[in-house]
Chain A
Amino acid sequence: MNAPERSEAFDERDPALPNPLPRPAGEFEALKKAWEAPRGLSFITAVNNTYVGLWYVGTAFLFFILAGILSLIMRVQLATPESDFVGHDLYNQLFTMHGTVMMFLFAVPAVEAASVYLLPNMQAARDLPFPRLSAYAFWAYFVGGLVFFCTIFFGLAPNGGWFMYPPLTGAKYSPADNADWWLLGIGFIEISAIAGAIEIIVGVMKTRAVGMSLDKMPVYSWAMLVFAAMIVIGFPAIILGTLLLEMERAFDWPFFIAERGGDPLLWQHLFWFFGHPEVYIIFLPATGMVSMIVPAMAQTPLVGYRLVVLALVATGFLSFGLWVHHMFATGLPKMSLSFFSAASTAVAVPSGIQVFAWIATIASGRMKLTTPSLFIIGFLFIFTLGGLTGVMVAMAPFDWQAHDSYFVVAHLHYVLIGGMVFPLFAAFYYWVPVASKYALSERVGRWVFGLMFVGVNVTFLPMHITGLIGMPRRVYTYPVGMGWDALNLVSTIGSFMIAAGVALFIVDFARRFRIARDENAGNVWNASTLEWLPNANYNTRSIPIVASRDPLWDQPKLSQDVQDGRYYLPGTATGGRETLVTSPFDARPQYILQVPGPGWQPLLAALFTAAFFLLLTVKMVLLSATCGVLAVFCVIWWLWETDPGPVRPPADIGGGIAVPVYATGSMNHSWWAMIVLMVVTGMVFTCLIFSYLFLWLVNPAAWPPQGTLLPEGFSPFVSCTLYVVGAALIAYASRTLRGEDRRSPRAVPVLIAAALLCVGGAAAMDLWAHWRTGLSPSAHAYGAAVYAIVSLQIFFVLTTLIMGLYTIARWLAGRLDSVRRTTFDNMMLFWFYTTGQGLVALAVVYGFPRLTGGV
């Protein structure tokens, strides 16, 4: 952004601030009281982002250390040839856990956690829109992750590699529970990641400072928006994949067993459709951090803001066209491979744009060589090297040579450590002063950087050569005389240098980090964005008007005025926790969101959810089911307190603006969350239909297999009609529930109940129709695919059932009327989704085999 544009924007606004001084007595105290953290044991029921964010970051870092220790054990084993430090079975578990924990329990949660802490601060929101959802996501991850990690101590850890390829991980070759721990443990932690992503999307779109229109959003917010959108599109594939593989293992439904019409390549497609975007999912937030740190260090605005946003958006798209480059060695047609080669090289362009934008920013300012700067420079060096080897392996012929060798290990560590770990350390050094009373030590920081930077290169640079001269990845030892000995020893020495760097960081952190409740270390870098405003549990005293991308540089009195309560909403309008919802493009105030406070519900719901999945792993089905029911109960208990309705008339937030304290329809934050959730579920379903079509493709002349009876046309017709009638009843109920006068007509619960009967009948009819033909889910992949689609639909119908009954209960309790109707609206959205999915499912399952005539 150039200077004239900035001042022009600044001059546009009214010089008078929204709220006069002095502020009324008791206003600030009421705000503080509303945001007070719970004390004593119930401290763990805190839900606001300052607490959950820090716990979340801390837990993610714990997993970084744990997974790092696993890698050190592996490096000791490989330091010398024919070593017997660990056996092959433990080694298999070690590399599987190292990859799995680093990717699923460290990288994604770490960037998500950082944003839980940073986003509201950066956008001057008081909290994220769904703090209890963040708390739920955190606790599910914390408990689930730790239990999952502990399997390594009992020899139960998964051992099929972090990408868990069948048939190795199928029931035949991995009969023990190890693989189930991965499938159920990681599968459900993904759900926690999706919960976080929904929170982030709604948070970025709806809770920004007034005036922080799209063009003034911090790059970090853009990065997190693209990141969350990518999770929403990419993670459903792995959730579906784990579901299918678990169903194959538990019930013998042969999705991946070639003898019965399945195909192991289907797993690879599902895994990598998630797995490659995953790399960018952890890289983009890191670039967002870099784009915030570089301008602060160079003391000049970011060069090429629009180009950086373009790069983020383009990366978000293009990264979904790369997944087959992990499958170059599987024998797919060359033209297909070339499409992925082309996309893989094309994605380097937006990454390059960002790198040049940072270099240009550094060049246009005067970069101070602080610890964050050093980590940024280290990032640029290491990531660029990883990017270059990435372009090399994007070429199929080169990849065939390097595939499954240490060259790939070197490449991926350069990309991930360079692209994510170094920016994260830069972020630690940079943002600790926001959360802590003291900044970290610059002197120690230089040592941390030096050890890590040299360590990474000493460890991984030689691995390129180790790989090119033939050492395969994932071998637990190697014979003398292959020429690999010295290189491996060097790598091991390097890995301990990294460990020393990390250990030094922990010491520094323990010495210097003290959680700041009121007085943080302050704006030590003279940075320009809102997280450096004076903050506490309620975040900023008042919610500022932002006139540029660098508000603290361009509005010099901003900190003082915000702190004095001269901007919007300097107190609390409803007496409870609130944040201001703004319009998604222009960031104009829309309404006051009544934010839920501390509570046991999300914590208990998370514990029971974790217990449900973990007990299922060890086949304690009854206990697991009990925990599942309890989890649903806790969620309902939690929801019961939400959707408060207009508890008071519109409130004056300052400057003569009065906004309502409740909103429904497309303005409502939970409406947005529901839409995003529907994209998630839609992606799960799309991946399932893709799997169905894929299995059709690999089964010429057996779709359905000979002798299979197709159900008659009568039953889908009935199901179809019931779905449509059910949806129509709900639409009619919605019409009945309209009006300004807060009516709650009696027809509403009756209509919902009738619609529930319809939708339940439709799904039951569908299941019965297939069952009656004698179709077996385990005889052939056809049956497995059909029953998978039917089962998924039944799951959605059951969820609709719970939501419908819950809505009826709200009506009975007098918590639902024509104005306070968000619960109904959300149920209605989900209902329409379930109906649409049901109709498509019927069309595919009944129509497709007839359309192709069994070809």
Chain B
Amino acid sequence: MSGRRTGQVLLMLAGLIAWAVQFTVIYGVTSTLCGREWADVTLLGVGIVHAVVALATLAALIVAALSFLGSWRIHGGLGETAAAPDRFISQAGILISGLSLVVILWQGIPAFILPACA
């Protein structure tokens, strides 16, 4: 598989990969901080657990948004003669990163409602 194709697949899946990283970070960090009773630390006045969830969510949203825009631009730039797989992958990239944006946001919501380690 050529480097270009690998890049295309990564871009197509970037939104979902961002979700996977976000999920691992927020669950791992929450469990570790609460399990070790380190959750009282604050970062700029915000509890560390909430801060981490917010930052991870923001970072994942940025990645998914960039992937969305990237796929969109690539798709827009494809000429009439573009190969069908290129067209397909960029369209799939738009759809996947679009869905990922919603899922990532949804995934971060509990932090705005619940206390850290109750």
Contact = CB atoms under 8 A, between A and B. Distances in A.
Interface of A: 9, 213-216, 306-307, 309-310, 313-314, 317-318, 320-321, 324, 332-336, 338-339, 341-343, 345-346, 349-350, 584-586, 666, 697-698, 700, 855
B107 A342 contact: yes
A202 B116 CA distance: 44
B1 A584 contact: yes
Contacts of A321: 19-20, 23, 107
A306 B95 contact: yes
A367 B16 CA distance: 35
The 3 closest A-B pairs by CB, nearest first: A338-B110, A215-B88, A317-B16
Given A214-B85, A307-B95, A310-B92, A697 B109 contact: no
B107 A339 contact: yes
B6 to A, nearest CB: 10
A314 B16 contact: yes
A214 B84 CA distance: 8
> By DSSP majority rule, is chain A's interface helix, strand, loop, or mixed?
helix
A264 to B, nearest CB: 16
A333 B117 contact: yes
Contacts of A666: 1
B49 A306 contact: no
B114 interface: yes
A482 B32 CA distance: 44
Q: Which among B34, B84, B85, B103 has the highest number of chain A CB atoms within 10 Å?
A: B84
B34 to A, nearest CB: 5
A753 B27 CA distance: 45
A350 B15 CA distance: 15
Nearest to B38: A855
Contacts of A338: 109-110, 113-114
A339 B84 contact: no
Contacts of A333: 30-31, 34, 116-118
A314 B99 contact: yes
Interface in B43-97: 49, 83-85, 87-89, 91-92, 95-96
Contacts of A335: 30, 49, 110-111, 114-118
10 contacts: A213-B84, A213-B88, A306-B91, A333-B31, A335-B114, A335-B116, A339-B26, A342-B110, A350-B99, A697-B31
B20 A320 contact: yes
A313 B89 contact: no
Interface of B: 1, 5, 13, 16-17, 19-20, 23, 26-27, 30-32, 34-36, 49, 83-85, 87-89, 91-92, 95-96, 99-100, 102-103, 106-107, 109-111, 113-118
A555 to B, nearest CB: 16
Contact of B84 (A9, A349, A700): A9
A141 B35 CA distance: 41
A645 B118 CA distance: 63
A309 B92 contact: yes
B96 A313 contact: yes
A349 B96 CA distance: 12
A276 B107 CA distance: 18
B3 to A, nearest CB: 11
B99 A215 contact: no
A586 B35 contact: no
A122 to B, nearest CB: 18
A666 B3 CA distance: 12
A7 B28 CA distance: 51
A679 to B, nearest CB: 14
Contacts of B100: 314
Contact of A342 (B99, B106, B118): B106
Contacts of B34: 333, 336
A346 B106 contact: yes
A284 to B, nearest CB: 15
Nearest to A214: B85
B107 to A, nearest CB: 5
A215 B87 contact: yes
Nearest to A697: B35
Nearest to B111: A335
Which of B26, B88, B116 gathers the greatest number of chain A CB atoms within 10 Å? Answer: B88
Given A213-B84, A215-B84, A310 B117 contact: no
A678 to B, nearest CB: 15
Nearest to A855: B36
A317 B110 contact: no
Nearest to A309: B92
Given A310-B99, A336-B34, A349-B102, 14 more contacts: A9-B84, A214-B85, A214-B89, A310-B96, A314-B96, A320-B20, A324-B27, A335-B110, A336-B27, A343-B107, A346-B107, A349-B99, A700-B36, A855-B36
Contacts of A855: 36
Contact of B35 (A318, A349, A698): A698
A317 B19 contact: yes
A310 B84 contact: no
Nearest to B107: A342
Contacts of B109: 338, 342
A531 B1 CA distance: 27
